[in-house]
Amino acid sequence: MRKKQDRPEEELDLIGIPAIADRTVAAPEDIPETTVKRLPRYFRCLRELFNRDVMKVSSKELSEYTGVSASQLRQDLKYFGGAGQCGYGYNVKRLYSAVSERMGVAKKYTAVMIGAGKLGRSLCESMLFEQRGIWVKGIFDASDDVIGKTVGENTVRNVSELCGFCLENRIDIAVFCIPAADEEELLGIIRGAGIRGIWNFSPCEIAREKAGVPVVNICTGDSLMYLQYEMSKAETEKK
């Protein structure tokens, strides 16, 4: 495996994402929220096609791969400029580049994990960050049981060092994997650290207005409830 630490920072790019300047890509504020929510799905599919050296793809094929209807898909991808051509299909490289660009995947963000429990370690050792151009530069915990242990390419540090570390290393994203009493407690941990985005797996949600930066709260249990609902509904329909 490539070791990121061995490479100088300017080389830390997303190997494989072609850099194509496309002036016809819509501005972020012009892309509807519903389209944005589907972009990661397109991104994953286009990455797969690009890595398999597929040059073009029709909206029908993309629709099959992504499970999004072909007409919906054409509507969504209109925001990504001249990548599609009637009767020819989409240029995979152009479209992949445009979607990655708009998703901010090409931005080389840095992140710290806060919490080195099972979930924190599991996320840290996954390919989730690297695949999206994010460099996890540190992992922090308050417990002496884990401080000093190795997780992926990092050694767990004391959370008391967090702010200094973030400022020094210009960390963009804080990933919370700790239980907490409330959002005040979570926000207190990163106060003054210059964090620009929060990915929150803690059980208490953080409001964007309170954080002052973009926040994505992951409520894993909500999706389990949604499954329960769908199962319950399916059983009602059978009766």
Token digits of residue 212: 């002052």
Q: Looking only at residues 192 through 211 of this chain, which bind its own copies when binding is defined by CB under 8 A?
A: 196-199, 205, 207
What span, in angstroms and rounded, lies between the C-alpha atoms of 116 and 193?
Answer: 19
What span, in angstroms and rounded, lies between the C-alpha atoms of 44 and 215?
Answer: 22
**76: amino acid identity, one letter:** D
Residue indicated by tokens 């972020």: 28
How many other CB atoms are found less than 10 A from the CB of residue 67? 10
**92: amino acid identity, one letter:** V
The residue (of 59 and 110) whose beta carbon lies closer to its own copies is 110
Interface with its own copies, residue 82, by CB under 8 A: no
Interface with its own copies, residue 39, by CB under 8 A: yes
Instruction: State CA 117 to chain mean position distance.
Output: 20
**Beta strands 150-151 and 154-158, pairing class:** antiparallel
Pick one of 8, 27, 88, 239: the residue that binds its own copies (CB under 8 A): 27
Pick one of 7, 13, 18, 28: the residue that binds its own copies (CB under 8 A): 28
* Shortest Cβ 56–its own copies spacing (Å): 23
The residue (of 56 and 104) whose beta carbon lies closer to its own copies is 104
Question: For 89, phi and psi rounded to 5 degrees?
Answer: 105, -170
* Shortest Cβ 87–its own copies spacing (Å): 28
The residues pairing with 197 across neighbouring beta strands, listed in sequence order, are 173
Residue indicated by tokens 């797969």: 48
* Shortest Cβ 145–its own copies spacing (Å): 16
Interface with its own copies, residue 5, by CB under 8 A: no
Interface with its own copies, residue 44, by CB under 8 A: yes
Counting residues that bind its own copies (by CB under 8 A) gives 61
Q: Looking only at residues 210 through 229 of this chain, which bind its own copies when binding is defined by CB under 8 A?
A: 213-216, 218-229
* Shortest Cβ 213–its own copies spacing (Å): 7
The residue (of 28 and 194) whose beta carbon lies closer to its own copies is 28
Token digits of residue 55: 């040059």
Token digits of residue 54: 């597929």
Interface with its own copies, residue 19, by CB under 8 A: no
What span, in angstroms and rounded, lies between the C-alpha atoms of 99 and 38?
Answer: 11
Residues that bind its own copies in the complex, under the rule CB under 8 A:
27-29, 36-37, 39-41, 43-44, 67, 102-105, 107, 109, 117-119, 121-123, 125, 128-129, 131-132, 134, 172-173, 196-199, 205, 207, 213-216, 218-237
